[in-house]
């Protein structure tokens, strides 16, 4: 068993995006591609000597091979200990928890989140820091800089570590602790929620359908929902993680979780429906006959948080990403707590959570979480909802009607234009940028603009400044439009248009109808059809 030093050269575009480095699987499989990036992580974090890391992946195609490469490179670079999920598996929230539980120096999650997997799908690597959260911009920039200067990587020449059984193995001088991926996470959840109230709900006949989408949450949901809480067997569907997610797209939204939506729309459907994504950090919430948007879910969770044991003493504050609807702000107003607005990406919540300024956070992109870890957490959100429903003894649709009656309804939708030419997408954003200062007081599609800007964020804790985080247009009456380019795609560019309007009286309209003037305003302002040739969005959520 010896350390070999392999000569290499920088590979272009190894720049981490919103959530780690994400590329086509075949790109990651090219000789040296993964190795270069891992070595750059070691350099970017100031070395690995004597450090402890957590390691796991969502089980997608190439996970098994990649885990072994990371282990051999950690050992070759002098890491003291790597805590790895059995069979190389860990959900993103479970990895975040393990980093905190063991006081590890950091962790690596191998996942491209909700992007499809398989030889023709995507693969990814995310690095998390010692607080359990995604690496902040300073760290990702250092990693990126290292990818541009790399000339060698170090790897141990040895056979694979057997990860099929929990226990301790040795790789050179590095200890490899193989742990049950689910146990510690399940214990964490048990400490947050009222498990006996949720169990009583299930035993009263309440029916749930959890769609694990053949991704990582299958084993977590089976254990917690069916075995511990007593949901009837078979409540968790698509529970076996598959390397290609059963050829599916493991993204919990009404498009990709259509089968669940169909089931929930049946008059005799289950009481509660939920789904999670590839690596288990996203969630989708439904009741019988109702889809709850991520923004509404976040607001309802904040409004009812005191019903959950871990949050019974109230929330220190809440936070949402900028494009997430302002429904949360209304709840924060009423609770008399601060509501922070951050750029898109979970990493921006880390400082607020660490400093105790925010307890609950969420994003329109189906992510909700709290200070229990430093990642968003799909199954936690599901348990949160179940806990609320168990306490309030009402249905999801009753709960949302009550919420909208109290706070008004922020009708919300996101229109995505996927796979457009990057040049065209950048020109479209630049065109908007150039006319921002002329927009206030003008009328578009019958709506009067009151303010328009490009969002920038000054972190209140460490003072870091982030620019170019999306274009915001506010209208008279509380409506809002946001334009942003996705930071997670792997092909071309994706334009995201976030639409929102507020109505305190008519709370049961179809969101797409309520948003018609905004949709027209978006097209007129950004000239979407003219510039992209697209008459309608690829995906509407």
Q: Determine if 87 is a binding residue for Zn ion (CB under 5 A).
A: no
Task: Tell me whether residue 96 or residue 147 sits nearer to Zn ion (CB atom).
Answer: 96
Least CB distance to ligand G6P at residue 114 (A): 7
* Contact pick of 113, 276, 324, 387 for Zn ion (by CB under 5 A): 113
Stretch of 5-13, 67-75, 157-165, 484-492 lying at the interface with ligand G6P (CB under 6 A): 484-492
* Contact pick of 121, 269, 287, 345 for ligand G6P (by CB under 6 A): 345
Give me the 330-369 binding string for Zn ion, x by CB under 5 A, dash otherwise: ----------------------------------------
The alpha carbon torsion through 386, 387, 388, 391 (nearest 10 deg) reads: 120
Place of tokens 């089931």: 263
* Contact pick of 32, 78, 172, 487 for ligand G6P (by CB under 6 A): 487
> Cα–Cα distance between 67 and 416 in angstroms, integer?
33
> Cα–Cα distance between 309 and 307 in angstroms, integer?
6
Binds 346, which of Zn ion, ligand G6P, none (CB < 5 to 8 A, cut-off by type)?
Answer: ligand G6P
Least CB distance to ligand G6P at residue 176 (A): 28
Task: Tell me whether residue 287 or residue 369 sits nearer to Zn ion (CB atom).
Answer: 369
Q: Determine if 281 is a binding residue for Zn ion (CB under 5 A).
A: yes
The site for Zn ion, by CB under 5 A, has a size of 5
Binds 474, which of ligand G6P, Zn ion, none (CB < 5 to 8 A, cut-off by type)?
Answer: none
Binds 279, which of Zn ion, ligand G6P, none (CB < 5 to 8 A, cut-off by type)?
Answer: Zn ion
Distances in whole angstroms, Cα of residue 344 to Cα of each of 176, 321, 428, 433: 35, 5, 20, 18
Class of residue 13 by CB neighbours under 10 A (exposed 0-12, middle 13-18, buried 19+): exposed
* Contact pick of 14, 19, 111, 147 for ligand G6P (by CB under 6 A): 19
Binds 35, which of Zn ion, ligand G6P, none (CB < 5 to 8 A, cut-off by type)?
Answer: none
* Contact pick of 122, 277, 329, 459 for Zn ion (by CB under 5 A): 277
Binds 147, which of ligand G6P, Zn ion, none (CB < 5 to 8 A, cut-off by type)?
Answer: none
Q: Determine if 18 is a binding residue for ligand G6P (CB under 6 A).
A: yes
Q: Pick the catalytic residue: 19, 113, 276, 365?
A: 113
Distances in whole angstroms, Cα of residue 408 to Cα of each of 147, 331, 403: 49, 10, 8
Class of residue 138 by CB neighbours under 10 A (exposed 0-12, middle 13-18, buried 19+): exposed
* Contact pick of 410, 413, 488, 501 for ligand G6P (by CB under 6 A): 488
Task: Tell me whether residue 363 or residue 371 sits nearer to ligand G6P (CB atom).
Answer: 363
Stretch of 68-76, 269-277, 335-343, 355-363 lying at the interface with Zn ion (CB under 5 A): 269-277
Contacts of 472 by beta carbon, 8 Å cutoff, 6+ apart: 322, 451, 452, 453, 454, 455, 480, 481, 482
User: Is residue 249 classed as helix, strand or coil in its secondary structure?
Assistant: coil
> Cα–Cα distance between 508 and 363 in angstroms, integer?
23
Decide the pairing of beta strands 465-466 and 457-458. Answer: antiparallel
Task: Tell me whether residue 51 or residue 372 sits nearer to ligand G6P (CB atom).
Answer: 372
Residue 175: strand pairing partners: 81, 170
Least CB distance to Zn ion at residue 404 (A): 28
Q: First CA to last CA across the chain, in angstroms?
A: 52
Asked about 442 being catalytic, the answer comes back as no
- Residue 281 φ/ψ, nearest 5 degrees: -100, -15
Q: Determine if 124 is a binding residue for ligand G6P (CB under 6 A).
A: no
Place of tokens 């919103």: 18
Residue whose beta carbon is closest to Zn ion: 113
Residue whose beta carbon is closest to ligand G6P: 486
Q: Determine if 344 is a binding residue for ligand G6P (CB under 6 A).
A: yes
Is the alpha carbon torsion for 152, 154, 158, 160 positive or negative? negative
Least CB distance to ligand G6P at residue 265 (A): 26
Contacts of 358 by beta carbon, 8 Å cutoff, 6+ apart: 315, 316, 317, 318, 319, 338, 340, 349, 352, 371
Q: Determine if 486 is a binding residue for ligand G6P (CB under 6 A).
A: yes
Give me the 361-400 binding string for ligand G6P, x by CB under 6 A, dash otherwise: --x-x-x---------------------------------
Binds 296, which of ligand G6P, Zn ion, none (CB < 5 to 8 A, cut-off by type)?
Answer: none
Which one, of 126, 121, 138, 127, lies nearest residue 62 by Cα? 121
Q: Determine if 279 is a binding residue for Zn ion (CB under 5 A).
A: yes
Place of tokens 């075995």: 227
Going by the DSSP 8-state scheme, the letter that residue 16 receives in this structure is -
Give me the 265-304 binding string for ligand G6P, x by CB under 6 A, dash otherwise: ----------------------------------------
Which one, of 283, 280, 402, 217, lies nearest residue 272 by Cα? 283
Which one, of 471, 462, 243, lies nearest residue 343 by Cα? 471
Residues lying near ligand G6P in the complex (CB under 6 A) are found at 18-19, 113, 321, 344-346, 363, 365, 367, 486-488, 496
Report, as residue numbers or ranges, the catalytic residues: 113
């Amino acid at each position: 068993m010896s350390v070999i030093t392999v000569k290499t050269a920088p590979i272009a575009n190894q720049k981490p995006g919103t959530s780690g480095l994400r590329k086509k699987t075949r790109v990651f499989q090219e000789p040296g591609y993964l190795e270069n990036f891992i070595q750059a992580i070691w350099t970017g974090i100031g070395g690995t000597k004597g450090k402890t890391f957590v390691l796991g992946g969502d089980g997608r195609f190439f996970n098994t091979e990649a885990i072994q490469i990371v282990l051999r490179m950690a050992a070759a670079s002098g890491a003291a200990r790597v805590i790895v999920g059995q069979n190389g598996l860990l959900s993103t929230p479970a990895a975040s928890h393990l980093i905190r539980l063991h006081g590890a120096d950091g962790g690596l999650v191998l996942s491209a989140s909700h992007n499809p997997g398989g030889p023709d799908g995507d693969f990814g690597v995310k690095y998390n820091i010692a607080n359990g959260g995604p690496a902040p911009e300073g760290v990702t920039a250092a990693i990126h800089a290292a990818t541009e200067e790399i000339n060698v990587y170090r790897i141990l020449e040895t056979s694979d570590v057997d990860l099929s059984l929990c226990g301790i193995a040795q790789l050179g001088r590095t200890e490899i602790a193989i742990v049950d991926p689910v146990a510690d996470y399940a214990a964490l959840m048990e400490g947050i929620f009222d498990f006996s109230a949720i169990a009583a709900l299930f035993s009263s006949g309440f029916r749930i359908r959890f769609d694990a989408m053949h991704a990582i949450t299958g084993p977590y949901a089976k254990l917690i929902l069916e075995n511990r809480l007593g949901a009837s067997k078979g409540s968790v569907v698509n529970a076996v993680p598959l390397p290609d997610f059963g050829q599916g797209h493991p993204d919990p939204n009404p498009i990709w979780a259509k089968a669940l939506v169909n089931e929930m729309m049946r008059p005799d459907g289950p009481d509660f429906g939920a789904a999670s994504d590839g690596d288990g950090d996203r969630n989708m919430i439904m009741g019988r006959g109702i889809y709850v948007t991520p923004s509404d879910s976040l607001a309802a969770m904040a409004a009812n948080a005191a019903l959950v044991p871990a949050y019974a003493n109230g929330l220190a504050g809440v936070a949402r990403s900028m494009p997430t609807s302002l429904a949360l702000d209304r709840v924060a107003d009423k609770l008399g707590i601060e509501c922070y607005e951050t750029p898109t990406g979970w990493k921006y919540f880390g400082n607020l959570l660490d400093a105790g300024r925010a307890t609950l956070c969420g994003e329109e992109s189906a992510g909700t979480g709290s200070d229990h870890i430093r990642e968003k957490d799909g199954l936690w959100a599901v348990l949160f909802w179940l806990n609320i429903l168990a306490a309030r003894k009402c249905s999801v649709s009753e709960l949302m009607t009550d919420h909208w009656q109290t706070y008004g309804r922020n009708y919300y939708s996101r229109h995505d234009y996927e796979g457009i030419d990057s040049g065209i997408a950048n020109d479209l954003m630049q065109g908007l940028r150039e006319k921002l200062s002329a927009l206030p007081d003008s009328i578009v599609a019958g709506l009067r603009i009151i303010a328009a800007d490009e969002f920038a964020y000054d972190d209140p804790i460490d003072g870091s400044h982030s620019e170019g985080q999306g274009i915001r247009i506010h209208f008279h009456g509380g409506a809002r439009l946001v334009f942003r380019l996705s930071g997670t795609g792997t092909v071309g560019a994706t334009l995201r248009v976030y639409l929102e309007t507020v109505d305190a009286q008519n709370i049961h309209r179809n969101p797409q109808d309520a948003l018609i003037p905004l949709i027209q305003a978006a097209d007129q302002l950004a000239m979407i059809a003219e510039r992209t040739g697209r008459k309608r969005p690829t995906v509407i959520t």
